[in-house]
Structure 1
């Protein structure tokens, strides 16, 4: 709920107890917990599944998922996102959303059932046809899943969404592991996905207190579908971007190179996904709610960049420094070939942390058309670059990804600055604290290696030593930083530890972690003054 903002003499914006700022911080925390929990659980259980299923069975499911994932963007139609950003939404709107998504899902299921025999013949294996048909049944469940999920998103109830996400993760993996152990092969993953969707739909409906209804308001449907078409187009192009590098590499016929590059890409994107990506949903909703308050939109946007960089840049520096040891320790020597492309792809993470908040901004203020143009330009750069880079192997492919992310970051940031009337120098002010401290951390690690390089041996000791040292450098460097944002975050981190120790065992007190404080929307006077000069906004 958005409350009116009083304007006391100090010009500081004050929020009520259950303010928008509290909702964003609370939401970012729970999205972060959900993302991190999913990453950890999937990683651990993936190791077990890898021993129960052979690569060919994984390959069959992966092939099915290429087509069902693409159809999934069409099934949602982006209309749920349109409901989330709308100023007002009632039961009639949710009934209309459910009706439209169910009809689209029914059409997709019918399409897959018709083409299933041809699909099986194409891959010379009739099992593919049966797998595709069963996997397609999930599109009949998705409207029951998506609509209450959109309701919770709109109400910024991310704790409930995370509870469903983690419970569903347990349901999916329990079914998948049980069926794989019993020898069901690829069916274990397909059936786990279907029953996981049903479980999620029931949970979301319970949390949202939602019951399905039918509505055929075609005028309102046109509004939702216009926005939804742009949202879907953006999602499809983004999906193609994520797949095009792997697809072009696969045409070389060297499956080993594809596997190594895919591993490097997933590791390079992991810090960004867990930290900066966790803020996307709450920031999108908060900006959509703040349509009548340009000051708050500007501050939310710059704050999301500032804090995203503060928390991701040190992780990227440490990952860059320890890439070979980390890969060899966690994945084994066979995966060591991922270390070199990983050390290059890390630069893409630096750029994504800056550019990603602009995507949430443009989506929230209904400028998806401009974002779609940016996505298409980026896709063309990736395709042309990969075709040129194939002779240069994994290093060439990695530099193409970095270049495309750099161009995309510049382009989308420029569009965002124009949209909310701020300058590039404001973006620089948001990034500089994290960038300076990342350089200091890198220099410090280099000095430590000179001093202790001959003493520390073995991957585990190297990871433990430099990881501990980096944590100390980050906290101490932040405390004595000339940048106020860095000092504030270091004090928060120390306060978190102190509070956790002081409140241990007290279940009625909830201490904040860094993701709880990921975004602060109380606009301090000095920030507001920098944006407003006379009647012109900067």
Structure 2
């Protein structure tokens, strides 16, 4: 029987993951603006377009087998080794394919000059997939502290190297070195931490039980990838590399809060939900609590960034990027709208509802791509991102209906509970926008605007949160007290 991990174990692992992502957040908060000042929008666009292909094939190469391995009981060594070698074989084939067909692929994506970059970046695929198995073993053991440490170390050293190379005039290659350095350091760290050493064992019969789960997960991952990466490809083809670079830079920055909270929480929740088995009440309570907490944390950050996007773009990225402030604001708004959905994907994966996940992700991918293309054609980059906001509003309702139906949670009750703090954050952001409009001309510079907006937003949100989420705050206090009491009772 799989070990039962309670609130203490889950919260401890979430804490480690959030700590690592927070360190990465601080690093990117500093390095992304520095790189934006040293490199051009076209250089960012070239790397972003090439990376889209690499990331897509990296995801396909795994074929969902590592995810299936997480929910598989036990750690059968023959199965583990077989998954590793299948992943590596797929990675090498795809890497070779990119190298050979780099020119037509780059032209297809609207960036024919990126073919050379694409050939070099093809070698990222086997590096990244070679580390998937080691990460899977750490996740299966709920040992996220080691992954957190190596993620922080790899991102830190890679970012320092990128800034140094950009300053020395290496241009676009600074971003390429950053990607390779982070991947190689993390690969080494994951294998060292997990203690995994591959052996020449391949047993196809061991893989067959994994494919039933992995096929649904792979399909949904492809759809999610299309959702998040199709805007880059469509914008590059229809609007050019400069707009693609502006989108890339703004998206990197607007995604930082998501990377801090979501990637940390989702990585822990997937194995945690899978270990809860058929305990429906426990799963439902964990789903609603985790959804509320992530929304409380993320919604004010994203809506707040939308409210102060104009001064923030000027302060953080400089005057050369000031024209792109609507891009930053609309991207933050689009991410804010779907914050209540943050726990739905790991929930559906962990509870084995791959078909629901596949259909939900597929419909979202189609709608996102169509909206971005239509907006790009009819109104340029801001119109494309406005379309993305509308799609995400529909996504919120659709995903909520699908997940609450799976777990027999009343739809309106679940939607209100999960989205209440998002609506509170929206009210806060509207108040901040109104305040900055009233103070227009009275504040000396964009730095003052940003400080006033951040202070006012934090104060307003704290008051509204206390008025609307007292039950949640009491529950969190009770959990912390119970965890501390359990820690005191444990024998030394």
> In which range does the TM-score fall when normalised by the shorter chain?
0.7 to 0.9
Cα distance change of structure 1 residues 2 and 165 upon mapping to structure 2, 3 Å threshold:
same
**Partner deviation per Cα, 1:172-214 (whole Å, 9 max, x = no partner):** 2344455556665555544553444332222111111221123
1:310 counterpart (283, 296, 312): 296
| 1:424-479 CA distance string (max 9 Å, x none) | 13313423541463365357547866986675442222222232233333334444
2:54 corresponds to: 68
The correspondence for 2:394, drawn from 384, 392, 407, is 407
- What's the offset of the Cα at 1:301? 1.0
Within the alignment, does 1:438 sit opposite 2:432 as a pair? no
Give, in whole Å, the separation in 1 of the partners of 2:39 and 2:188: 29
Deviations 1:205-228 (A, max 9, x none): 111122112332212212223433
Gaps in structure 2 of 5+ consecutive residues? 486-492
Decide whether aligned partners of structure 1 residues 69 and 447 sit closer, same or farther in structure 2, where only a CA change above 3 A counts: closer
The 10-residue stretch of structure 1 (71-80 or 312-321) with the greater mean CA deviation from structure 2: 312-321
**Inter-CA distance 280–407: structure 2 relative to 1 (3 Å threshold):** same
1:359 corresponds in structure 2 to 345
What root-mean-square deviation, in Å, do the aligned CA atoms of Structure 1 and Structure 2 show?
A: 3.6
**Higher share of residues assigned helix:** 2
Cα separation, 2, equivalents of 1:341 and 1:182:
29
1:332 paired residue number: 318
For the residue of structure 2 that corresponds to 1:275, the secondary structure is: helix
| The 10-residue stretch of structure 1 (237-246 or 341-350) with the greater mean CA deviation from structure 2 | 341-350
Q: TM-score, normalised by structure 1?
A: 0.77
Matches within 5 A, 1:378-397: 378-389=364-375, 390-397=377-384
Does residue 471 (structure 1) correspond to residue 433 (structure 2)? The answer is no
> CA 1:146–1:341 in structure 2 vs 1: closer, same or farther (change >3 Å)?
closer
Equivalent residue number for residue 154 of structure 2: 168
- Output the CA distance in 2 between the equivalents of 1:454 and 1:176: 38
Contact 1:172 1:193 in 2 (8 A): yes
Q: Structure 1 residues 189, 399: closer, same or farther in 2, change over 3 A?
A: closer
Residue of 398, 401, 404 corresponding to 1:417: 404
Residue 288 of structure 1, CA deviation: 0.4
1:50-61 paired onto structure 2 within 5 Å: 50=36, 58-61=44-47
Structure 2 residue 384 is matched with structure 1 residue 376:
no
Equivalent residue, structure 2, for 1:485: 472
Q: 3-state SS of the aligned residue for 1:89?
A: coil
Residues 1:426 and 2:434 aligned together: no
Confirm or deny: 8 A CA contact 1:317 1:442 kept in the other structure: yes
Q: Distance in 2 between matches of 1:163 and 1:156?
A: 14
Asked if 1:146 is matched to 2:119, the reply is: no
**Quick one: which of 244, 263, 287 aligns to 1:301?**
287
- Cα gap change, 1:431 to 1:71, in 2 (>3 Å): closer
Query: Once the 2 structures are TM-superposed, how far is the Cα of residue 52 of structure 1 from its aligned partner?
Result: 5.7
Match of 1:506 in 2: none
Q: What residue is the counterpart of 1:193 in the other structure?
A: 179
TM-score relative to the length of structure 2: 0.84
**Aligned CA distance change for structure 1 residues 198 and 296 (closer, same or farther; 3 Å):** same
More displaced 10-residue stretch of structure 1: 449-458 or 277-286: 449-458
Tell me if the contact between 1:98 and 1:213 (Cα under 8 Å) persists in the aligned partners.
Answer: no
Q: Deviations over 1:240-294 (max 9, x none)?
A: 2223233333344455544444455445444334334431111111110001311
Preserved CA contact (<8 Å) 1:85 1:285: yes
Match of 2:449 among 458, 462, 467: 462
Decide whether the 8 Å contact of 2:223 with 2:361 is kept in 1.
yes
Note the C-alpha offset of 1:111. Answer: 2.7
Give the paired residue count. Answer: 480
Query: d(CA) in 2 for partners of 1:120 and 1:240?
Result: 17
Residue 92 of structure 1, CA deviation: 2.6
Shift in Å at residue 151 of structure 1? 0.9
Q: Is this contact kept in 2: 1:144–1:212, CA < 8 A?
A: no
Structure 1 pair 378–196 and aligned structure 2 pair: CA distance change class (3 A):
closer
Based on CA coordinates, which of the two structures has the bigger radius of gyration? 1
Does the 8 A contact of 1:287 with 1:361 survive in 2? yes
In 2, Cα distance between the equivalents of 1:464 and 1:184? 35
Preserved contact between residue 48 and residue 245 of structure 2 (Cα < 8 Å): no
Q: For 1:120 and 1:276, how far apart are their aligned partners in 2? A: 31
Answer whether contact 1:325 1:459 (CA < 8 A) is retained. yes
**Residue 401 (structure 1) shift:** 0.7
Q: For residue 234 of structure 1, what is the aligned residue in structure 2? A: 220
Moved more, 77-86 or 329-338: 329-338
How far the C-alpha of 1:361 sits from its partner, in A, is: 1.1
Distance 1:118 1:154 in 2: 40
